[in-house]
Every structure is written in structure tokens, then in C-alpha cells.
Amino acid sequence: MTSPSLNPIDLRDLRLDDARALLEHGGAIDLPTPETAPAAFLQGVIDGLCELSLRDPLTGLANRRHFRAVLAREIDVVVRSGNPALLLMLDIDHFKSINDAHGHLAGDRVLQAVARCLAGCVRPQDTVARYGGEEFAIVLPDCQLNYGEAVAERIRQTVANLSIAVSPELTLQITLSVGGAFAPTQSRCTPDVWVERADNQLYQAKAQGRNRVYIDHQQVISVSAEEKSLLFGALSTGEPAWGESAPGTNEDSAMQKVNP
């Protein structure tokens, strides 16, 4: 039996004008024209939109979706290799007062300046993301303790030394609070557990006066009963499971959070 033939797609029927305009606005790629190179044009649109979907439109950093994927992938790497990895959570101090006093456009310019600063303080293999609002996140793979502390402190000092021009008449100086946690090397944790540990250090930095760095050096942690059920549930079926976590502090006792 002969299979039906497939008709070629006419690019004009795809109505790609909006997608092309979005890509050009984001500065993602330089697209060929559909008339001269239709296949390359379509592939360029697809590749560009995929890349754009992983970026925060305001800062150009990785967005939260991309960050979560990187975090999960890095947990796998740490469990397999044993190489340390550090997660930093960073929050602009008193950011709400900037928006209230100077408007959201000024706040946007502060976010963009901080994003450029963070990107300039890390290695090419590190991932810098806008986590949400005025909070950023950095994943540093293969990161030794001394190096991670030095990077976090360099970021804090560099941001504190910034003079951010938010208008021709106004320049602002800001500070960051930084919290960090190393991924456990002897057990598999979830991305949420890793983020919570780094966030707890961030809240401590806030509570102790802001413009500070707090890093949890512990690389062996315990997990809750719910997480054990998720991570080691395969044991009940006789399938191999990841190794049990070693004793450590109880992650369920979270620190009282303070307002940024």
C-alpha cells in the first residue's frame, strides 16, 4: 500500500511575523529571510524561540525554568562524581523602597545593573539566573569551599561598589544579601531541599543586618520522611535505590524568615 505523500509547508501559512519580531526585539539571532533561505529561516525561528524561552526578558539571565533544570542536572553530577557544587541565593536589600521612592523603571534599571554585575563575577560554566522579583540564584559546579566563599564575597563587594544611574539626575547605590549551601555529596537531595538550605542562609544574612554572606558548609544532610518516600520508594519494589543519607541536622527546623 502506498503511503500518502506529504505536502511541503508554505512558510507564509505559518504566520511567523510575531515570532520573528519577538526574536529581533530580544536580540537573540540574526534571521535569514524566508525568501532566500526558507529552511534556515524556520530553523532559526525555532532555535531562537527555544533560547528565548530560557531567558528572563528584563535581565537576559537564565529564567527560573532554566535554573531548575540546571539545578536538577547538577545534583546528578554531584552524586555521581562527588565534586562539590555551591548554590547561592542573592537578594537586593530594601528593593521595595527603591520602587516606592523612584518608580518601577528605576527598579528595572537596578535589576539590570545587578544582573550584569553577577554575570561578570562568575566563570563561563556557572549559571546565573533571575529567580524571581529582586532575587537571583547562581549555581557553581565543581566549586571548592574557599573558592565559593571568595566568589560570594566578591559579588557582595562588587555590588556594594556599584553606582547605578537610574536617570540623568539620580544615581543609586545598593547592597546584596547572599546565602549559600553546598549540595550533599553522599546522598541525593531534591532541588527544593537545596534551595531551601541556601534560602535559610539568605534569611540569616538578612536577619543579621543585610549586606552579608552566609554559607552552609554542610555537605551531608538528612531528609524528611516525605522526601525519603519519594527518593527511596523504589526499595519497596526491589529496585536499586540511591544510598541512604547520613545523619545530619534536621532540615525541618527552618529559621524564622524576615522580610527583605
Q: Is 260 a domain residue?
A: no
Q: Is 18 a domain residue?
A: no
Supply the pLDDT for residue 101.
Answer: 95
Cα(174)–Cα(150) distance, integer angstroms: 20
Residues 20 and 49: beta-carbon distance below 8 Å: no
Q: Based on the fold, state whether residues 92 and 208 are members of the same structural domain.
A: yes
Residues 166 and 102: beta-carbon distance below 8 Å: yes
61 grid coordinates? 539571565
Q: Based on the fold, state whether residues 45 and 117 are members of the same structural domain.
A: no
pTM: 0.70
Query: How many domains, the chain?
Result: 2
Cell 529561516, located at residue: 41
Q: Is 190 a domain residue?
A: yes
Cα(176)–Cα(117) distance, integer angstroms: 12
Q: Based on the fold, state whether residues 150 and 182 are members of the same structural domain.
A: yes
What type of residue is 69?
A
Pick the catalytic residue from 24, 51, 74, 134: 134
Residue-number span of the structural domain to which 37 is assigned: 30-56
Q: Is 100 a domain residue?
A: yes
* Residue 134 annotated as catalytic: yes
CATH number of the domain where residue 70 is located: 3.30.70.270
Supply the pLDDT for residue 137.
Answer: 98
134 grid coordinates? 529582586
Q: Is 2 a domain residue?
A: no
Supply the pLDDT for residue 174.
Answer: 97
Q: Is 255 a domain residue?
A: no
> How many CA atoms within 13 Å lie on the side-chain side of 227?
18
Q: Based on the fold, state whether residues 46 and 167 are members of the same structural domain.
A: no
Order of all β-strands in the sheet with 176-182:
127-132, 135-140, 86-92, 176-182, 213-216
Residues 175 and 160: beta-carbon distance below 8 Å: yes
In tens digits, the chain (260 residues) has pLDDT values of: 554 444 555 555 555 565 555 555 555 455 556 555 666 666 665 655 565 568 888 998 999 989 999 999 999 999 999 999 999 999 999 999 999 999 999 999 999 999 999 999 999 999 999 999 999 999 999 999 999 999 999 999 999 999 999 999 999 999 999 999 999 888 888 999 999 999 999 999 999 999 999 999 775 444 445 545 554 554 444 544 444 444 444 444 444 444 45
Q: Based on the fold, state whether residues 169 and 210 are members of the same structural domain.
A: yes
Supply the pLDDT for residue 259.
Answer: 47
Q: Based on the fold, state whether residues 113 and 197 are members of the same structural domain.
A: yes
Q: Based on the fold, state whether residues 37 and 133 are members of the same structural domain.
A: no
Supply the pLDDT for residue 217.
Answer: 79
Q: How far is the first Cα of the chain from the last one, in angstroms, to the nearest whole number?
A: 68
Q: Based on the fold, state whether residues 146 and 41 are members of the same structural domain.
A: no
Residues 232 and 241: beta-carbon distance below 8 Å: yes
Q: Based on the fold, state whether residues 70 and 52 are members of the same structural domain.
A: no
Supply the pLDDT for residue 257.
Answer: 46
Q: Based on the fold, state whether residues 34 and 159 are members of the same structural domain.
A: no
